[in-house]
A and B are shown apart, each in its own frame.
Chain A
Amino acid sequence: MLTVRQFSGGRTARLALALSLIPALFAVIYLVRPWGITPNEFLVDLFRELVVPTLLPIVVLLPATAAFGNELEDGTLPYLLMKPVTRLRLAFGKYAAVLLVTVPALLVGVAAATLVASRGPDAEDLRRLFLAMAGASAAGAVLLGAVFLLVSLVVPRALLAGMIYIFAWESLLGRFLPGVQAVSSREYTLRVFNGLWDGDSAAASNAVMTMVVVAVVCLLLAVWRLRGIQIN
Chain B
Amino acid sequence: MTKPFTQASSEPDSDGLPGLAPGEEAVIALRGVAKWYGEVVAVSDLTFGIGAGVTALLGPNGAGKSTILNMVSGLIAPSSGTVRVLDRPVRRDTMIYREIGLAGEQEQLYGSLTGREFVRLNAILQKTPDPDGAAENAIAIVDMASAAGRALGGYSKGMRQRIKVAAALVHDPRVLLLDEPLNGTDPVQRASLIALIRRLGNEGKSVVVSSHVLPEVERFARNVLVIVNGKLAAAGDFRTIRERMDERDHMVRVRCDDPRRLAAALVAEPITKSIRLSGDGRFVAETNDVRRFSLLVPEVAKREGIRLFEMQPVDESLASVFSYLVGK
Contact = CB atoms under 8 A, between A and B. Distances in A.
B110 interface: yes
Interface in B84-107: 94-98, 100, 102, 104, 106-107
Interface residues of B, number: 31
Interface stretch (B122-130, B193-201, B253-261, B264-272): B122-130
Contact of A78 (B67, B73, B112): B73
A74 B106 CA distance: 8
A79 B167 contact: yes
Contacts of A87: 94
A2 B121 contact: yes
A86 B94 CA distance: 6
A230 B125 contact: no
A82 interface: yes
A1 interface: yes
Contacts, number: 66
Contacts of B110: 6, 76
Contacts of A84: 94-98, 126-127
A80 B124 CA distance: 11
Q: Most chain-B Cβ atoms within 10 A of its Cβ — which of A5, A11, A84?
A: A84
Interface stretch (B5-13, B74-82, B242-250, B285-293): B74-82
A231 interface: yes
A75 B121 contact: no
Contact of B73 (A76, A80, A82): A82
A33 interface: no
B106 A78 contact: yes
Interface of A: 1-2, 5-6, 10-11, 74-76, 78-87, 228, 230-232
8 contacts: A6-B110, A6-B113, A82-B74, A82-B102, A85-B125, A232-B67, A232-B70, A232-B75
